[in-house]
Structure 1
């Protein structure tokens, strides 16, 4: 009986290892899907050179939440402008660039306590809130050195994934230099966040997925291949014990 229990314990190790490997691969695929979505959102906003958002009545607008403001006065039915005293309503529109759009979606997910989260970061950040953590700095450096497009590792019970962001013309508008950046950007960030080089890795999409590997995920991943590996391990263990 003791030998049988020992055999079962020995046989379980490769099965658990293999199941954990499958689970980790699935997490990476999930992270890639999130990164793809974030990348598409950025490309969508970039094709319009940013998104103009109408300010709601009574809304207090954070200066860090937009790059520019456009005030639109309503016109008469014959399209003639009304004199300033007769203007009944002025509509304010605020320009959000692709990175701002992505950041606000990231904030929504964070505030909704979503298990999976993402953020855009760079070692040449403008807003201190977007400064990279230790994993993100390592990911940026590694991808630059290896000229790779992604980097991931498991740390502190989480799958951490990074997708390289290569600087495009849309990025250069704000990040090439302070002198060439829009006035609103210069006013907010006079010194930091510049020096991007076209075509180079200048930031990442950072995705974080909690590691929930346990009995349920183990059973889900325990397919026929896992069973075959466990059976082989069981046979090998039996042969070793028989020789002894």
Structure 2
């Protein structure tokens, strides 16, 4: 039977796992929703930029011909901001010029009758007061003067959601014909073209999709939490049955059969306390397999495991019976030597290095680097000695590997 205290621990564990699962699911679906919104925004941005570039291209076409003439019929007025705008043909008809600015304004007014899409020109230095910028456009014009290439945002207007985009218009040589008196130079920001279109239907669909995603996430989380609860309960019952086996395996490294890191540290701490109390010697050796990653990459992880097992066996045959050999982690090993001085530690480290190098392991050439350290009066824990040995191991690797330091 599982003890009451353990039941409480297991219950807390199950709750934690379920909470993590719920958080993970929420994160996934939140990410999906955010990504969907991002993709929609990018699509709207691309659409707005395409509109803007089309308008710019149309203006460039007009400017290429120094303006175009349209027949002056009812409702067609001359440009009040230009001189010599009208011409008369031999047959008595009158035509008036449309420069890029006025052409753009008239097209925008024509399109503006449709509430779904509109565009207009604007500037901080106005020729036509009707082009006065609103707050969004004015802020964008300020940013253009600082080098920002474009500005866009979503904005509610008249109870609907709109996408707004504005790009800069730069002064070109042909622009100075009309705007030279405003002290513009070629390359200056003349103003901007603002594009606005209705995205209310898209946003409504996006809100609906968000609700569906939330519902699906809730159902998925409920199913996963229930499954995790059942599986974890079975797992905790199994843990209770094999507790004894786990306790027996707690001190041993599963691959090499030598002490694991935890047990080696506990034994080392015991020897450290004894050495301090009796003023006896204590040394540590840190050992690392050279280029072990290359062994795994070339021969496979199974061969790498074989190298670690054989290396542990050889080291075990070289050390003294009462020395402590443990797997420190990965391809690193730790030897703790009670009642030993520094010279003995160096001698043993060299013997291990020689023994490993002398014979290939499963037809694989293997060498090791080792670092040694001895207890001193300033040490307060076994970790202090191990740290110095590890530093010496690092020096051995810097020195070319397959050696002992110091």
Q: Same fold (TM over 0.5)?
A: yes
Aligned partners of 1:220 and 1:42: how far apart in 2?
40
RMSD, aligned CA: 3.5
**Paired position in structure 2 for 1:53:** 70
2:184 partner SS: coil
* Residue of structure 1 aligned with 2:99, choices 92, 97, 100: 97
Question: What is the Cα deviation at residue 149 of structure 1?
Answer: 2.1
**Paired position in structure 1 for 2:162:** 158
- For structure 1, list consecutive stretches of 5 or more residues without a partner in the other structure: 75-89, 178-193
Whether 2:178 is the aligned partner of 1:174: answer: yes
Q: Deviations over 1:48-104 (max 9, x none)?
A: 000011223xx2443447840112233xxxxxxxxxxxxxxx111101101111111
Mapped contact 1:66–1:97 kept (Cα < 8 A): no
**Paired position in structure 2 for 1:62:** 77
- Is the alpha carbon distance of 1:220 and 1:28 closer, same or farther for their aligned partners in structure 2, counting shifts above 3 Å? farther
Question: What is the Cα deviation at residue 155 of structure 1?
Answer: 2.5
1:120 partner SS: strand
Mapped contact 2:119–2:193 kept (Cα < 8 A): yes
**Paired position in structure 2 for 1:109:** 111
Q: Deviations over 1:23-52 (max 9, x none)?
A: 111110010010011011001100100001
Mapped contact 1:152–1:160 kept (Cα < 8 A): yes
Mapped contact 1:121–1:204 kept (Cα < 8 A): yes
Q: Give the structure-2-normalised TM-score.
A: 0.42
1:159 partner SS: strand
**Paired position in structure 2 for 1:207:** 195
Question: What is the Cα deviation at residue 195 of structure 1?
Answer: 2.9
Count of matched residue pairs: 194
- Is the alpha carbon distance of 1:16 and 1:54 closer, same or farther for their aligned partners in structure 2, counting shifts above 3 Å? same
Aligned partners of 2:195 and 2:66: how far apart in 1?
25
1:202 partner SS: strand
Which entry has the higher C-alpha Rg, 1 or 2? 2
Question: What is the Cα deviation at residue 160 of structure 1?
Answer: 1.5
**Paired position in structure 1 for 2:143:** 142
Mapped contact 2:63–2:100 kept (Cα < 8 A): yes
- Is the alpha carbon distance of 1:63 and 1:54 closer, same or farther for their aligned partners in structure 2, counting shifts above 3 Å? closer
Q: Deviations over 1:139-193 (max 9, x none)?
A: 1101111x1321112232322111111001121111110xxxxxxxxxxxxxxxx
2:48 partner SS: helix
Mapped contact 1:66–1:95 kept (Cα < 8 A): no
Mapped contact 1:50–1:96 kept (Cα < 8 A): yes
Q: Give the structure-1-normalised TM-score.
A: 0.68
Mapped contact 2:78–2:86 kept (Cα < 8 A): no
Instruction: Report which structure shows greater RCO (CA 8 Å, sep ≥6).
Output: 1
Aligned partners of 2:35 and 2:117: how far apart in 1?
24
Aligned partners of 1:144 and 1:172: how far apart in 2?
19
Q: Which has the higher helix share?
A: 2
1:125 partner SS: coil
